[in-house]
Amino acid sequence: MQATDNSTHTETDKKHRLVPTGQPGFTIPRLQMPADLKPDSREWCGIFTIETPKGYVRVRAYRKFECFGTAEALEAAGLLHPSWLPGLPGNNKSKQTILFTREGPCFVLGRPTAPFHENNEEVKNRFITICKTGKKFAVEIRPTEAQKERLNAFIDKLDRKRNEAREKEKNREYDREYEEARRKTNSDPENLERYIQVCIKSVSDYFDARLYDYTPESTARISQAIAELRQAFDEAELLEAPKYERIGDNVLGINFRKGCTRESDH
């Protein structure tokens, strides 16, 4: 069957073809983003809800909009025509792309290839994708340029927040390792050596995993300081094993864990 929009495709394309849907007045759906777009529970995308007489449509906003709901709710929201659903006779089985040409919407039957990629300027923001998800459906809609700019800023902010949270958790993990090593430090020089290495490793790892780059001069200075600190401890000699270990405000004897009492009890 001949394609409707010959400027984009021709009937010689063997992997897919365009077929008019029969609703020439149906324009491409557009969504209104709420002014106070909220992040989802995992804080990696925005989420909002569209209320219709046929039920709710849940919208996930990332680099595009993904609208989830029943066929009736999606139709009531103006996001699709019921004849476009995948799985209907003549349509694709589980995923149906609709391209909005100058003459009206068309089914993209078969497997869409490179000409239908969203970065192609000829079809950019002019198609939607309908996917079957169990008993419900998901409609993927590309944002307008203005919406894309706002979404990118929103997602970048969430990404920074997630990265900062991961950095804080990594620092907490370093603190736990540091505390565990410190608690195990007693008269055993081998334990003391492990404690020192954990301290140096924490400093080195924090420097390597930093979120922001230092100037080349500062980077060289910090790297040299870490190397000198490691060398200093490698070459250090213990004069005498410590008699006591301080943990917080408590001073413990070196054999306290073996049954000795606190210093104040002697």
Determine contact, residues 18/5, Cβ cutoff 8 Å: yes
pLDDT digits over 163-219, tens only?
A: 888 888 888 887 787 777 666 655 455 666 666 777 777 777 766 666 556 788 888
Q: Could you tell me the pTM of the whole model?
A: 0.58
CA distance 107 to 98: 5
Structure tokens given for 120: 């192609």
Mean pLDDT over 16-25 rounds to 88
Task: Give pLDDT tens digits for 71-98.
Answer: 999 999 999 999 999 999 989 899 999 9
- CB-count burial class (<10 Å; 0-12, 13-18, 19+) for 3: buried
Read off the pLDDT of each residue in 33-57 and give the average, rounded to a whole number.
89
Q: What radius of gyration, in Å, describes the C-alpha atoms of the chain?
A: 31
